[in-house]
Structure 1
């Protein structure tokens, strides 16, 4: 097996690394890991994406059609109290976000087609009032719905493939991977900037699967890409397995940065859930985005994307983390 030399003497050519070399980087610790992170930071700086962008998320609905084994918002969970926010509520929160150093307004929901009409109402109003870039994360939709969102002014859309192996995808997410990939193609055709990514630590996942995840992300060529550690979630089939490996997640983030160079890469709140300063570690591994939660508390506790006790990112926490990483805040003009 080819071993990657420590210290790494030249830029890593991620697309041309062998499977064994990618597995070595995913498992990197010690000096190799620090070299990997150093190179990710250097690539981020050279690519001109070294400032950290803040997104303000409003979680507008916890209804979902899907039954992903890792998520408590799955349709088959009868214990979750469901909600949908009204347009007036969303716009009121958008007013608050507009008064802060937030660059992107992020509307997130389960896969809930009944929330589409509200989104279609608020997108043009948000654009009229603030000219915010609008980011959506609302799951799989028909092609014409994506086109309509784009025509109304939405700028970008996140649709994570979560796991790239077709069999494992069907086993955990219970729908075909190809449907997900078709939706990503439709989004790109509609003119969206597109985000995608994977989860580390799912049941049955191997290092070979993580290599496949990286290669799929490179094939998609996304504008945003993320790697998130699995967090066991109450009232789900996976509630009794452990968290995803933090190092594997951080190493995957660094690999994405080195390979793709310019995408926005979030340091997700799940990193902080696993370990204090986890989001700082994410910035040090090449990330350049943090998401601030503006969902009202009465809804936030019902948006069970990670767990009932998920880490909630505040503006103060984000600004402190950015400062400690020695980075600057990016403000869109």
Structure 2
């Protein structure tokens, strides 16, 4: 149903671990592209998903990060630690430089982990569909919408198809508007012939190694508007101070004040999730937990919001 796409940085993995029970309960399946050399955090995260009875897809040939030249360590992790875990699947990322033969080699190598194809720039879909014809009915294909339009997806219409849309328009924190549309895919995926949908949460598809100094702090929170056909929107609560890299705690406090004021207005449509309770607690205590933790809370809220809507 819902396939959130995570790059495997620390707080992304912590989010999955913290939410393992909720993800499993709602049949939400995270797609994880490991970007850090150390795979200890990934192992702990997959163990938590497995223990909760959930499912996950792990990209074995990442495009970004420390494993982009060689994903052998990820393959070894799956084979050594999760060989008998049929709920942990290998994801093969299809980019524009890959050939059909390379895809099929990787597909065969990971046959023990029920491979999922993640289409993100591949450019010979017809030839690949022919090569996969015998397996198509049992195959899951995940399409990143910006790289796989309707004609492309039609080649795989006999398979289980998932569509991922990047609803987060990433920009400098100081430049975010207060409110913008995020996505309607949670409402329309079935109309598009898809068995499920996904997104890149509050991070977006654009990859960066790490943030520089935060001249402004922004808290991003999604909500579903029942008065607008259940379209999902995102609030950006941005600090007033935007011209200095110092005092991130003070800037977080400014952004949090705006969030709490919007919540207390009674007109926000923001679901009172466990993550929102944490934001309220941080506000009451005047505590700054660090920007990574703030991002984690935004991602948790997003997942909780979709769980409430789809449940």
TM (normalized to structure 1)? Answer: 0.42
Structure showing greater relative contact order (alpha-carbon pairs closer than 8 Å, 6 or more residues apart)? 1
TM-score (norm 2): 0.45
**Rg larger in 1 or in 2?**
2
Structure with higher strand content: 2
